[in-house]
Amino acid sequence: MCRRAQADPGHTYALVIDEINRGNISKVFGELITLIEPDKRLGDSNEITVTLPYSGENFGVPANLLIVGTMNTADRSITMLDVALRRRFAFVELMPQPELLPDNVAGVPLQKLLRTLNHKLEALLDRDHQLGHSYLMGLKTLEELRFAWDKRIMPLLREYFYGAGEKLQIVLGRDFVERTELRLGDGADADTRTVYRLKEPKTDEAFLSALQQLATAKPVRPV
């Protein structure tokens, strides 16, 4: 890619690294990490080249090569970028854009639904755990909406709130999460426990009604 960009200075080239923080980027770039700095590119004031160990050729990064990395900041299991790498990149935050969704699918206002969910997720977790609009993009029918909800959104929310049923009920409402009081034992030694269970609306009408109520629910207010 660098060779192609160097041979074609009249055009801009881009190298896109998806989920850049899934690997050890400092080790991947190695000593070449210095070469990607704006003022160290070929033709710039502080141009730097290195000699490749196997070919013995001089190597540099041309100014017309863009290096773009994407990362999901909600995934805490992935190593975050170190300071040395961060200062070599400019960062652009891309947040969910509900306005890109259709306003109404099967009677459900998707834009309002996503905004409501994300408002609750930001309040209970943080802004990095908001749902992206891609979960609801391109939906046209009730069947597509139900598949996206049951197979994509619900599993993610269950993972977010594993062991925190009360918070999951705050996010989804009582139509999707029910609270039950269980009495364990008898007499003075009896113990009462609160259990939260997921509910699946039995009919399409019940499912649509639950989503409509969720979309128009009152926002979570700070105490």
- Asked if 104 and 204 sit in the same domain, the reply is yes
What is the model's pLDDT at position 7? 93
DSSP secondary structure of 159-204: HHTTT-HHHHHHHH-TTTEEEEEEEESSGGG-EEEEEEEE---SSH
In sequence order, what are the beta bridge partners of 45? Answer: none
- Asked if 33 and 132 sit in the same domain, the reply is no
Domain that holds residue 156: 98-215
CA nearest 61: which of 78, 84, 75, 44? Answer: 44
Q: Which one-letter amino acid corresponds to residue 116?
A: T
CA 37 to chain centre: 28
- Asked if 113 and 203 sit in the same domain, the reply is yes
Of 57, 86, 115, the domain-final residue: 86
- Asked if 104 and 199 sit in the same domain, the reply is yes
Contacts of 67 (CB under 8 A, 6+ apart): 14, 15, 17, 36, 89
| Structural domains counted in the chain | 2
Integer Cα distance of 108 and 13 in angstroms: 42
What is the model's pLDDT at position 83? 76
Residue 222 domain flag: no
Residue 221 domain flag: no
- Asked if 156 and 121 sit in the same domain, the reply is yes
- Asked if 105 and 48 sit in the same domain, the reply is no
Of 31, 57, 86, the domain-final residue: 86
Of 64, 86, 108, the domain-final residue: 86
What is the model's pLDDT at position 77? 55
- pTM of the model as a whole: 0.79
Integer Cα distance of 178 and 210 in angstroms: 13
Q: Where are the alpha helices (DSSP H) in 24-109?
A: 25-29, 83-86
- Asked if 111 and 208 sit in the same domain, the reply is yes
Q: With contact defined as beta carbons under 8 Å apart, do 20 and 80 qualify? A: no
Q: With contact defined as beta carbons under 8 Å apart, do 109 and 136 qualify? A: no
Blockwise average pLDDT, block size 10, the chain, 223 residues? 92 92 78 86 90 87 92 68 79 93 94 96 93 95 96 95 93 92 73 87 94 85 53
- Asked if 166 and 67 sit in the same domain, the reply is no
Residue 223 domain flag: no
- Asked if 110 and 67 sit in the same domain, the reply is no
Q: Which one-letter amino acid corresponds to residue 6?
A: Q
Q: Which one-letter amino acid corresponds to residue 29?
A: F
What is the model's pLDDT at position 32? 80
What is the model's pLDDT at position 6? 92
Integer Cα distance of 68 and 62 in angstroms: 15
What is the model's pLDDT at position 173? 92
- Asked if 113 and 206 sit in the same domain, the reply is yes
What is the model's pLDDT at position 71? 85
- Asked if 76 and 155 sit in the same domain, the reply is no
What is the model's pLDDT at position 188? 65
